[in-house]
Amino acid sequence: MARQFHSNSVAERAARDIDRKRDQERRQMLQALQRQADDLAAALVQRLLDRHIIETTSDRALKDTFTELFHKLPEMEEFDMQFKTAPLRGLVNDPNVISLYLTQYIIEDLIDHPKVQDVFGDDSEIYHAVDSVLERIRPRG
């Protein structure tokens, strides 16, 4: 008996494979983010300062804030991360979900940090600055 071809099941399988690959990539990035938290936080703060996105009275306080956040992100619920990144989903093709999260964090939360004087730039500029630092922990392939 010949096997019937169901395009719906092929599409579902492809979608599951893509979701599984994205989940695996996300887990790998979160683990790398936690392992390299200090270095990545320092690099991120420097990049944000160099690109004149953040004006602060204490780059050390911002580095500490990001380091702490990088240690907390792996324990964050998937729903909370999706909720935070939802406004930026269409910002770029194939976005780095952690870069999206940090972009939204900078826009919504970091602006209220006592050592942050101002945040400049649009969503895209902030995302690209963040992603230029985090691209080193994104698996390729």
Domain annotation covers residue 2 = no
| CA gap 96, 89 in Å, rounded | 10
Q: Of all helices (H) and strands (E), which one includes residue 118? A: strand 116-119
| CA gap 84, 113 in Å, rounded | 18
What's the mean pLDDT in 85-93? Answer: 90
| CA gap 49, 1 in Å, rounded | 67
How many domains would you assign to the chain?
Answer: 1
SS (H, E, C) 33-75: HHHCHHHHHHHHHHHHHHCCCEEECCHHHHHHHHHHHHHHHHH
pLDDT the model gives residue 3: 54
Domain annotation covers residue 100 = yes
> How does pLDDT run across 60-78, given as a tens digit for each residue?
999 999 999 999 999 999 8
Burial class for 98, CB neighbours closer than 10 Å (0-12, 13-18, 19+): buried
85 compared with 20, residue with greater pLDDT: 85
26 compared with 127, residue with greater pLDDT: 127
pLDDT the model gives residue 84: 93
Domain annotation covers residue 92 = yes
Domain annotation covers residue 55 = yes
Domain annotation covers residue 111 = yes
What do you get for the CA distance between the two ends of the chain, in Å?
38
Domain annotation covers residue 1 = no
Phi, psi angle pair for 122, to nearest 5°: -90, 175
Domain annotation covers residue 77 = yes
Contact predicate 52/120, CB 8 Å: yes
Contact predicate 34/70, CB 8 Å: yes
Percent of the chain scored above 70 by pLDDT?
Answer: 94
pLDDT the model gives residue 18: 74
Judge whether residue 9 has pLDDT over 90. Answer: no
Contact predicate 100/108, CB 8 Å: no
Domain annotation covers residue 114 = yes
> How does pLDDT run across 25-52, given as a tens digit for each residue?
888 999 999 999 999 999 999 999 999 9
- Which range of residues forms the domain containing residue 118? 7-137
